[in-house]
Every structure is written in C-alpha cells, then in structure tokens.
Amino acid sequence: MSEPPTLWHAVTPHAKTYPGATSDVATDVVVVGGGFAGLSVALELARSGTDVTLIEARRIASGASGRNAGFVVPNFSRADPATVIARLGAERGGKLLNLVGRGADTVFDHAAEFSLGPHADRSGWLQPAHSAQMAAALQQRAVDWQALGRPVTWIGPEETVARTGVQIYHGALADASGGVINPVAYARAMAETAVSNGAVIHEETAAADIVPDGAGWRVVTRKGVSLRARRVLLATNAETLGAAGQLARLVVPLRVYQIATAPLPAERIAVFSPRREAVSDTRANIFTYRLDADNRLISGGMAILPFGAEARMARRISQRLALELSLPDIPPVEHIWTGTAAVTRDFLPHLYSLGDGFHAVTACNGRGVAMTTMLGAALAPMLRGEVAPDQTAVPLAPARTIPFRAFARAAPSAFLVQGMLRDRAEIRQSNGSHSAARQHVEYER
Ligand SMILES: Cc1cc2nc3c(=O)[nH]c(=O)nc-3n(C[C@H](O)[C@H](O)[C@H](O)COP(=O)(O)OP(=O)(O)OC[C@H]3O[C@@H](n4cnc5c(N)ncnc54)[C@H](O)[C@@H]3O)c2cc1C
C-alpha cells in the first residue's frame, strides 16, 4: 500500500493525526475515504450540525487527493456544456454545470478560509488548442461557459504562445477562476476544519465491509469495529481495499505519473510563463505544467508500459518540458510520484446507489480537485435525508460493473498510443511544415 512520497508531502511537514476507531459507535452518517470527496462531505455535514464520522484506511490525503498535480480547473476534461445538457437534459445538466462551474471559486474560498497562503495561487488556467479543429471547439466552449456567467475567454495564437512558452498553439481557452494549490496542505486543512466543526475522523481505519443493519448500515472495519449509521457514503475513488471494491468496480483506474523539477530561476520563468498560469493542452498525450511557490515546474504523463516506469517517466517528462518550453537545459527532477485517478464511462461525475441510504460517489476524470470539493454542498442535503438521491446535482447512475475490468485497466495505455499518433497527425495538418511541428513530431518518436 505504500506509495513513493510526493513533493507535497515533502513541503508540507505538519500533519495532525487522528486516532483509529477502537470501539463501536452509532452516528448519523459514516463517510469512507479521507480524500477531497469524503472530506468536503464531512466538512459540510459537520457545519450543518449532522453527526458524521469519516474513516480513512491510511492517512488523510494518502490517495489521489495527496498525489495529484494541484490544478484547480472548474470544468470537464472531455465534455462541453452543450454535451452535458444533451446527455442529462436542461434541468439536470444545468444543475451539474452550475455546480462544476463554481468549483474553483469554492476551492479558493476554502483556501482563504484555511489561510493556505502560498499553498494556493489563483493565477488562472489555460487550455491551449494543439490544432485548428480544437481551436474552433474551444472557442465555442468559451462562449458556452461565458453564457453561464463564468470568467472564461478565448485568447489568440500569439498571445497564447507568449503566455505559455509553447510554439505550436492555435489559441487557448482562459479561465480566470482557475489556478493551483498544494493538495496535501488543502486536504489536511479541510480535515482540521471538519473536526473543529464536530466531525470525527479516524485514520488507519479501513472499511472491510458495509452491511445492512436495521433501517441503516453497519460499516465493519478491518479490526472488527462496527460503525452504525442511517446513511453511508463510499468516497474511495479507484481504490480496491475491502469495501472500496464496491466503487472500484464501477470506474476505470488511470495511473498517472507526476514530476517536480528543482526550482527554476525567476528570470527563466518570466520568459515562458509571465503570468504563472497553469497550462493543460488538448493533446491526447496531454502536455501540462504549473509552478509551485518555490518555482518548481510540475508536469505529468501516462506510461505506455508500467514496468520500470518511474525512472523512464522522470526522464521523458523532464525532456518534454525542456523541449516544449524551449528551456536551455533539461531541468533536474527532484520528485517523481504516481497516483491512480478514476474515470467514469461518460467522463462525468456520478453518484451510485448501493442500497437504501448507501451511496458511492466519484467526481474525478482528471478534474477532481475542484469537482470533489463541490461534493460536500451537493450531497450533504441527501445525506441528511432532505433530498432524494436523484435530485442532487451529481447525476445518479446505475451501479454497473465496468465490463472486462481487468482489461479495462490496460485500455488507457492503448488509447495513449492511438492518441499520440492522432496528435502527431493533427499538429502536422494544422501547422504544415512549421518547424515547431517538426520538432514535436521528433519528440514523439
Ligand atoms: C497523479 C494524479 C494527478 C492528478 N492531477 C489532478 C489535477 O491536477 N487537478 C485535478 O483537478 N485533479 C487531478 N487528479 C484527480 C484528483 O486528484 C482526484 O479526482 C481526487 O483527488 C479524488 O478524490 P477522492 O476523495 O475521490 O479520492 P482519494 O483522494 O483517492 O481518496 C480516497 C481515499 O479512500 C481511502 N480508502 C480506500 N479504501 C478504503 C477503505 N476500505 N476504507 C477507508 N478508506 C479507504 C484511501 O486511502 C484514500 O485516501 C489527479 C489524479 C492523479 C492520480
């Protein structure tokens, strides 16, 4: 279960500990999983005076919430507002768009409340288009988000190159409400605030099983302690330990590698990122980068083959940073880590009913920081019994196991290979014989 430590754990030394559950209790709600999803729900419930106990198998933010890159992005990785409305209808789709669109506002409101200081930076988020076709799609996406009242604009190719340092882009969607955080500092502060509002948190307490118990449920821990509650929420992402398997079977796990370089000189950063914006482009083999408070570059990627991937990915991601940002040297890598994200069938967040009063939730799909933060406000009324599960802003989906799940784990790698070929063709087509296009084709060989 132990994973390599992250940059965030290294630069965020102080961690409050929460003792494991040792005796049986009865409460209103049990939340399983101490990532952003579980914590945001526990915080919201505690604030409204509901008795809530959160159990975490390891330590707070041991899962994806402590292992991500900290991009705060208030939209969907694969869906335009129009797609969401087409799929869910005007009312349900509108509710979800309203929820997701406010994600970064809520994260940075929390960051201010938690006094995160340099661990949160609302520097904005850019999604540059790697092809003319994507530029057209993103221009429309920007218009759609504007119509929903969001501070989203379209910026042209020259300005995009000046603001990202990458030569191949055809313009970018800019969301002024986005930015970056240190996710470990954020999760730990959320846990402390939940506890100060009355929530009970137990670390090192894994749910082995969740079974019906009269009108409610009994969460049985691996050490045999019983936590009884009318309602239970499973917020364990793609993890498979004990009871978490009931959610894991509904999502596709996606292994993602992250690196942080040694700090770069401020003069160098000013050349490629004058506004210090977070960048995630539209390529299938997505190029992302952000800066931390100490001027480290943080970037990531997926491995085609898992064997020996850490060293290989550290090399590849740092080489890519140097190439894309025209850095004079390949920056030394100080931290490399990996984590598992969860992807749903339709790339939208979902609530699943596992019994009367027993639900699981996932809101990842690569945009988890902002989306999971919104789950507290979205799900607390349901967990207090005030709202029916199909009336929350998070779409209720049938709890259908992903078919051929063992093979589904390999699917992202297969899509990555296919996507890299498509990126190459699209960059070639959009840039003609532009030297930057040639350079990027070289890199991908
Ligand atoms: C490498 C990587 C980079 C990412 N980058 C970004 C990014 O930059 N921006 C963004 O928006 N999103 C990003 N994401 C996605 C984002 O991190 C996730 O969507 C989000 O953290 C999910 O939160 P969660 O609470 O659902 O899950 P998690 O944080 O994984 O929490 C689940 C918790 O459940 C616990 N658990 C498991 N089984 C049990 C059990 N049986 N009993 C009790 N507890 C259990 C685990 O220990 C874990 O702490 C990234 C993900 C990864 C992996």
Which residue has tokens 């899509």?
A: 415
Q: What DSSP letter does each residue of 83-108 carry, written as one string?
A: HHHHHH-HHHHHHHHHHHHTHHHHHH
**248 shares its domain with 271:** no
In 125-168, alpha helices (H):
132-147, 157-164
101 CB-near residues (< 8 Å, 6+ apart) = 74, 75, 145, 148, 149, 150
**389 shares its domain with 301:** no
Q: Which atom of ligand 1 is nearest to the CA of 338?
A: 1
- For residues 78 and 366, give the distance between their C-alpha atoms in angstroms, rounded to a whole number: 9
- The DSSP element (H or E) to which 249 belongs, if any, is none
**Candidate of 372, 374, 375 to mutate for ligand 1, largest count of ligand atoms within 8 Å of Cβ:** 372
**188 shares its domain with 224:** yes
**14 shares its domain with 107:** yes
φ, ψ for residue 180, nearest 5 deg:
-140, 155
**210 shares its domain with 107:** yes
**171 shares its domain with 222:** no
Sign of CA dihedral 187, 193, 195, 197: negative
* Token code pair at residue 228: 């009884």
Q: Find the 108 Cα to ligand 1 centroid distance in Å.
A: 19
2 CB-near residues (< 8 Å, 6+ apart) = none
**164 shares its domain with 188:** no
- For residues 445 and 438, give the distance between their C-alpha atoms in angstroms, rounded to a whole number: 11
Which pLDDT does position 79 carry in this prediction?
87
Identity of residue 162: A
> Is the residue at 131 inside a domain?
no
- For residues 64 and 6, give the distance between their C-alpha atoms in angstroms, rounded to a whole number: 11
Reference 183, options 340, 12, 355; nearest CA is: 12
Which pLDDT does position 433 carry in this prediction?
45
> Is the residue at 337 inside a domain?
no
**208 shares its domain with 307:** no
**103 shares its domain with 117:** yes
Q: Find the 436 Cα to ligand 1 centroid distance in Å.
A: 36
Reduced to 3 states (helix: H, G, I; strand: E, B; else coil), residue 208 is strand
Q: How many domains does the chain have?
A: 2
CB-count burial class (<10 Å; 0-12, 13-18, 19+) for 418: exposed
In 276-374, alpha helices (H):
309-324, 368-373
Q: Is 54 in the pocket of ligand 1 (CB under 6 A)?
A: no
Task: Report the CATH number that the domain containing residue 51 is assigned in CATH.
Answer: 3.50.50.60
> Is the residue at 169 inside a domain?
yes
> Is the residue at 235 inside a domain?
yes
**118 shares its domain with 12:** yes
> Is the residue at 388 inside a domain?
yes
* Token code pair at residue 170: 């055809």
Q: Find the 372 Cα to ligand 1 centroid distance in Å.
A: 9
- For residues 44 and 233, give the distance between their C-alpha atoms in angstroms, rounded to a whole number: 13
Q: From its phi and psi, is residue 320 left (phi > 0), alpha (psi between -120 and 50) or beta?
A: alpha
Which pLDDT does position 426 carry in this prediction?
82
> Is the residue at 384 inside a domain?
yes
- For residues 342 and 63, give the distance between their C-alpha atoms in angstroms, rounded to a whole number: 11
Q: Whose CA is nearest to atom 5 of ligand 1?
A: 68
Q: Whose CA is nearest to atom 42 of ligand 1?
A: 206
Which pLDDT does position 411 carry in this prediction?
64
- For residues 72 and 370, give the distance between their C-alpha atoms in angstroms, rounded to a whole number: 6
**213 shares its domain with 355:** yes
Q: Is 33 in the pocket of ligand 1 (CB under 6 A)?
A: yes
Domain coverage including residue 156? 140-176+263-331+410-445
pLDDT along the chain (445 residues), means of 10: 80 90 98 98 98 98 96 91 95 96 98 97 98 96 97 98 97 98 98 98 98 97 98 96 96 93 97 98 95 97 84 95 97 96 91 98 86 97 97 94 71 70 81 51 36
> Is the residue at 383 inside a domain?
yes
* Token code pair at residue 101: 């669109």
> Is the residue at 129 inside a domain?
no
**For the segment 372-429, what is each residue's pLDDT rounded down to a tens digit?**
999 999 999 999 999 999 999 999 999 999 886 666 666 666 677 777 778 888 887 8
Torsion (CA) 42, 58, 65, 322 in degrees, nearest 10: 170
Strands of 179-181's sheet in order across: 71-72, 179-181, 120-121
Q: Is 34 in the pocket of ligand 1 (CB under 6 A)?
A: yes
**103 shares its domain with 24:** yes
Q: Is 67 in the pocket of ligand 1 (CB under 6 A)?
A: yes
- For residues 281 and 279, give the distance between their C-alpha atoms in angstroms, rounded to a whole number: 6
